[in-house]
Amino acid sequence: MAKNLIIVESPAKVKTIKKFLGSGYMVQASVGHVRDLPRSSLSVDEANNFAPDYQVIEGKEKVVAALREAAAKAEHIYLAPDPDREGEAIAWHVAELIKDVSKADIQRIQFNEITAKAVKQALAEPRTLDRNLFDAQQARRILDRLVGYKLSPLLWKKVKRGISAGRVQSVALRLIVDREKERQAFVPEEYWPFHATLATGVPPQFRTELVKIDGKKAKVGSEKKAAEVEKRLKGQPFKVAGLEVKTREKTPPPPFTTSTLQQNANQRLGYTSKRTMNIAQKLYEGLDLGGELGLTALITYMRTDSVRISDEARQAAKDVITSTWGNDYYPAKARVYKSKGSAKNIQDAHEAIRPVDPAITPDRVKGEVTAEQYNLYRLIWNRFMASQMAGAKVEDTNVLAECAGTEWKAKGERVLFPGFLALTPQKDEDNEDLPPLKEGQALELVKLEKEQKFTQPPARYNEASLVKELEEKGIGRPSTYASIISTLQDRDYARLEEKSFTPTDLGVVVSEQLTEHFTQLMDVGFTAQMEDALDKVADGDQDWVALLNGFAAEFNPTLEKAAQAMKTVKGGMPAGVDCPDCGKPMQVKFGKAGPFLACSGYPECRCTRNFSRDASGAVQIEEKLPETAEVMGKCPQCGKDLHLKKSRTGSRFIACSGYPDCKHTAPFSTGVTCPKCGEGRMVEKSSRRGKIFYSCERYPNCDYAVWDFPVAEPCPDCGSPILVKKFTRGKNLLACPNKECKYKKSLDE
């Protein structure tokens, strides 16, 4: 019988760790958290030092029973959840649930990577549970519970039932809303950039940009001014007025942290933060790679703020670099990166995200993992290996051309030695390929270009830029970014449109109400200070109860004032437009299907409309289409016309015009037979976040679905019964939905 019990949090880790250890060890999983504050009540006794009422999570009774049974038989118990505050809390709660049935010494172990060496080393160096780390997690959990359970009911009364507020999510929402208001207030300014393509008689030609006129920064703000500049240049000679050549070294970026991984995966792979972390979790816990590798963990722990790596990892990288590219590609002095912030921070106790074994290249595992696992592993592997390679030596050339009192600039870059760029090439769009040049040299004007442009408002946040902003402002922790972003979308406070976040009307109202009445809570600086205070709790430099007392002393009175002062918008908000039927003011209301316009003259006037907002945020009433334009046949229940309508999230559906007397509805059918079951038709649906997809009408009996509009045409390459319509890079395509098949056909030709 096994004398040693190791408790991890993920079932996937059980298989990987069992591979390393003999029959003397049992390995079981807690399957995440086992105890938490119940949903049914606040479950925090504020009068008794914020004592939490933890209970076994519903559905985890069998898991807890199995852990207790195993603990009763073990002589040594090692708690091995993830090496962070959440992991420490899981270990703490497991210990509380098993200590009464076990006489064993319960100890904590942690490892940054799931390898035989790391696990065995952790077993050789167990420690006691860290009360400070647990208190830091506990304080965060209680803070979030106090805010969520006290603020949300207020929003139900004042705005809309069923919505929520969160200590960190609300501040993240404010960033999105404030950015949208900046865009709406933005006044564009006209400007005319000039470019001149010049030649020397020796290839290549090169493009320059106008930077100065009569020694001053070029500012061409009107068509008239642009015409004057063009006239001034006509027939005038260009020459090289200045030439500067410098050699510099480009250094590689550090290996990934949680935040930079999420940003890069979004920018390069198009993955959401949530998707990135889910894929990384599998790479960390271990995958079956077949052959001699078998069940193997590919990356180190993926929740970290650190860019530090171990000496062993550095040596392993060196071995691969020198054997693959040669000694010149390894720096004379090994690279050491320093993490930002306090080294005491628990997340910095780990290494950066890196491959467990650099010798396991992405191409080596390509056929054994999914496409998304391969893509993310390659991203992590390339970044880590590049971070340890020699810098690139480049020659920069800055050219200054002159013509009729105007100055023009061009930049060129020539790689003298690629270094890390051999692995991760970079393209600088601002750099031109330049011909040989010398000062005073005459230049031929090949083409002069001018273009009317207008300054653009600040860009909306996409996932990558929002994650970067959250990190820079100290809002939340990288491990929470994915859930923050997901919650904002799930609550319909923000939507991802063209890969950028746009606040909904509901999100704007909630943010404005909270910002007006909870100044401190919604302050970015205060939220960052709270994160620092939680770090101090983890370091043992701050009492968690005192921290909560200080927060409650400001929050509770503010909550009482807000309950009286916060205006209710349940009856509707002024829309700034008049009713098209009776002329009375329209109001924005929040219904179950989302915001809509309703006449303030109700019930005398029952006019309602959908609406949109223009670039300045002003309401634009959507015209009501003639009923005949949407007729889709006769209702099978009452015989009245069926109309084509659109749901709140964007998908089309069929509804009886006799509503509310007749409530017949049906999904919009594409007419294409499901290729999986061969029985149902493919119908149009939309996700909670407004993304259209097409699935079998027999769901859940058949779960086939595709993101693009299906067409009843077989694939000539793989025989798939259907193809799908795609619009990619400005082209309309007919493509095969099977990921393994690359068939595409243009619809534009």
Annotated catalytic residues are 301
Does residue 216 contact residue 544 with C-beta atoms inside 8 Å?
A: no
Q: Which two tokens stand for residue 605?
A: 């006037």
CB distance 227 to 404 below 8 Å: no
d(CA 216, CA 398): 19
Contacts of 503 (CB under 8 A, 6+ apart): 173, 176, 177, 180, 493, 494, 511
Q: Are strands 453-454 and 705-706 parallel, antiparallel or unpaired?
A: unpaired
Encode 120-156: b = buried (16+ Cβ within 10 Å), e = exposed.
eebbeebeebbebbbbbbbbbbbbbbbbbbbbeebbe
Contacts 24+ apart (CB under 8 A), 13-17: 13/114, 13/285, 13/286, 15/286, 15/295, 16/114, 16/285, 16/286, 16/295, 16/296, 16/297, 17/114, 17/119
- Give 349-384 as a 3 state SS string: HCCCECECCCCCCHHHHHHHCCHHHHHHHHHHHHHH
DSSP assignments along 152-214, one per residue: HHHHHHHT-TT----TTHHHHHHHHHHHHHHHHH----EE--EEEEEE-SSSPPEEEEEEEET
Bond before 204 cis per omega within 30 degrees? yes
Output the CA torsion sign for 703, 709, 713, 715: negative
Alpha-carbon distance of 372 to 349, in angstroms, equals: 28
Give yes or no for a contact between 619 and 576, defined as CB atoms under 8 angstroms apart: yes
| 694 close to 711: Cβ distance less than 8 angstroms | no
Q: What is the CA radius of gyration of the chain?
A: 31
Helix (H, G, I), strand (E, B) or coil at 615: coil
Measured between alpha carbons, how far is residue 532 from residues 342, 344, 542, 657 in Å? 10, 12, 10, 58
Can you read off the two tokens belonging to residue 369?
């993992």
Three state DSSP letters for 536-593: HHHHCCCCHHHHHHHHHHHHHHHHHHHHHHCCCCCCCEEEEEECCCCCCEEEEEEECC
